[in-house]
Amino acid sequence: MGCIGAGEQDRSPADGQHVHAASLPAAAKGYSTTVAADRPQRDQPHRHQPDQHQPNQHQHPPNQHPPNRVTIDLNADVGEGFGPWRMGDDAAMLEVVTSANIACGFHAGDPQTMRRTIDAALSKGVAIGAHVAYPDLRGFGRRETGLPTADVVDDIAYQLGALTAVARVAGATVRHVKPHGALYHRLSSDAELAQALVAAVQSVDPELVLVAAPGAVALAAAAAAGLAAVAEGFADRGYQADGRLVSRGEAEGVLDNADAVAQRAVRMVTQGGVTAVDGSWVPLPVATLCVHGDSPGAVGMATAVRAALHEAGIALAPVRTGEGLPA
């Protein structure tokens, strides 16, 4: 279980390029002014008011004008076992998060694992999403396959259909879609694939919410097509000054101090950005935070993040239909 696992490509946009979140269309920023209960009803869509003020890179975090967001989604990648093999403590993680990204069989997961994870998420009131990936079980979806756009679109439609069908049998509804691993990073810079993916998602279910990296071309493609989309941040990962993730193999690539990660999560929500490894300030407006679950102590760290958000007066709520769309 996890959001970006060990060995996975950590560069958000490919070729070393990054589009800062401050330059995103307002529809892709995913801010919300809605005050929600800790476990709100998930069939009540709400709109957001885009925040026009963004700090410039290398500035200190703003103190007087934080983003308007008072709610945040907390998500985790789950259902990433296969057959009798398990990854992470899904049951414990589902006690903490508000959204679950469930593997659909291409990088991990199988029909029984999908059903078991859906049942567990449903029992905890956790929103269900499809964690779609390249067909790469051996590489856990972390290897760039270079598959042509048409093949990737077919694979995504296949996975969405599979999870949607299993969810219906379980009496649940798939609410969002989050690409996994190498596919997630490709969608930061591949405009052709991003547009085709958005069209495919809308064909399967136009009510789905797309989750992508801040500055990803997928967010712009979704905004242009009228598909709800939100930007995602990682509280337990290091960021470079240009907004890319620091590689897991480098110092400060993965953060393991639960208290520090929890306070970092609060700043990402209240101040709309993150301090990069070089000390500069990077604007990073996000609507959902991913907490990793594929390492020892992951559940404890996620619990610390949730507690810190609650203490800061930040409500937890899943992304919903209408999130990310203009008011």
Percentage of residues of the chain with pLDDT beyond 90: 63
The pLDDT value given to residue 297: 80
Q: Quick check: helix, strand or coil at residue 72?
A: strand
**Stretch 259-274: mean pLDDT:** 94
Among 31-45, 115-129, 258-272, the least confident range: 31-45
How large is the angle between the packed helices 217-225 and 191-204, nearest 10 degrees?
Answer: 50
The pLDDT value given to residue 260: 92
* pLDDT over 80 at 64, yes or no: no
pLDDT higher for 70 or 94? 94
How large is the angle between the packed helices 191-204 and 149-169, nearest 10 degrees?
Answer: 30
Which residues share a beta bridge with 229? 210
Alpha-carbon distance of 149 to 187, in angstroms, equals 11
* pLDDT over 70 at 5, yes or no: no
**Stretch 233-247: mean pLDDT:** 88
Alpha-carbon distance of 159 to 106, in angstroms, equals 8
What band does 86 get if pLDDT is binned at 50, 70 and 90?
Answer: confident
pLDDT higher for 1 or 56? 1
pLDDT tens-digit map of 137-159: 999 888 999 999 999 999 999 99
Pick the closest to residue 264 from 308, 294, 296, 231 (CA basis): 308
The pLDDT value given to residue 88: 82
Among 33-47, 53-67, 106-120, the least confident range: 33-47
What band does 66 get if pLDDT is binned at 50, 70 and 90?
Answer: very low
Mean pLDDT of the chain: 81
* pLDDT over 90 at 314, yes or no: yes
What domains can you pick out in the chain, each with its CATH number?
Answer: 29-316 (3.20.20.370)
What band does 45 get if pLDDT is binned at 50, 70 and 90?
Answer: very low
pLDDT tens-digit map of 173-228: 999 999 998 999 999 999 999 999 999 999 999 999 999 999 999 999 999 999 99
pLDDT higher for 101 or 55? 101
